[in-house]
Amino acid sequence: MITFAFDSCSKTASVAILQKKQVLYETLLNKGLHHSEVLLPAIDEAFRLTNLLVTDIDFFACTLGPGSFTGLRIGLSTLKGFMLATEKPAAGVSSLAALALNVKEKERNICAMMDAGRGQVYYASYQYDQNGLLQELETAKAVNPRLIAESASPNVVYVGDGAIKYADLFPSSLRQNIAPAYQQFLCASSVGLLALENYRQGNFLSPETCVPFYLRSTDVT
């Protein structure tokens, strides 16, 4: 089975193609919030370089949020277009879960933190289960990063641009628990891997009813 996955909910955009769980192709573009300009060309490039056609894809996936409101709309609109054009199944995943998947630490909890602007971060916490699957421990919220830093624990790894941005709020003894900067980017291959579990469980999106996942609905225009 070939999965086509992409993300446009953060400051980066990413596209990946997977055959089962093997990554055949992946690119990440760090050009700021210009996803209306870069996402479709990146998708076209992915097909060109892999010699695949859209009809070769068995399953589509993208992030549903939280994240940039405009970016989420662009990503989900693109996903709906693929679903309607191909009539192939699709799934959406949490952007925070995809970010947490950058950390392979099995013994500690993982706190994913995305910069949400306005002095806040989007965050959720996760842990790998005995089967190596990522399980949500604490649901996504938009909070002041100081609250996370004040309750920081040596048993937790903090990952994402929110953790990098607000690293100075953490006790100096725990800043080593912040994942390195290169792990702050959300990868489309992680989106695809998480979506495969949705596929296994039959959790598919409907183009008529799927919507982005917003945490600050008052900001939506």
167, exposed or middle or buried, with CB in 10 Å at 0-12, 13-18, 19+? middle
Task: Locate all alpha helices (DSSP H) within the chain, ordered by sequence.
Answer: 35-50, 69-86, 95-100, 145-150, 161-165, 188-201
3-state secondary structure 60-75: EEEEEECCCHHHHHHH
- What's the pLDDT score for residue 217? 60
User: Which residue, among 101, 96, 25, has the nearest Cα to 64 in the 3D structure?
Assistant: 96
* DSSP state for residue 89 in the 8-state scheme: -
- What's the pLDDT score for residue 215? 86
User: Which residue, among 19, 1, 9, 215, has the nearest Cα to 121 in the 3D structure?
Assistant: 215
Q: Output Rg (C-alpha) for the chain, integer angstroms.
A: 17
- What's the pLDDT score for residue 220? 45
Residues of the chain with pLDDT under 70: 33, 217-221
- Angstrom distance (rounded) from CA 139 to CA 95: 12
Cα 140–Cα 134–Cα 10 angle in degrees, nearest 5: 50
- What's the pLDDT score for residue 113? 98
Contact predicate 178/167, CB 8 Å? yes
Q: What is the pTM of this model?
A: 0.94
Q: What is the pLDDT of residues 79-137, one digit of tens each?
A: 999 999 999 999 999 999 999 999 998 899 999 999 999 999 999 999 999 999 999 99
* DSSP state for residue 177 in the 8-state scheme: G
Contact predicate 63/75, CB 8 Å? yes
Contact predicate 210/60, CB 8 Å? no
Q: b/e for 74-94, b at 16 or more Cβ within 10 A?
A: bbbebbbebbeeeeebbbbbb
- Angstrom distance (rounded) from CA 83 to CA 207: 7
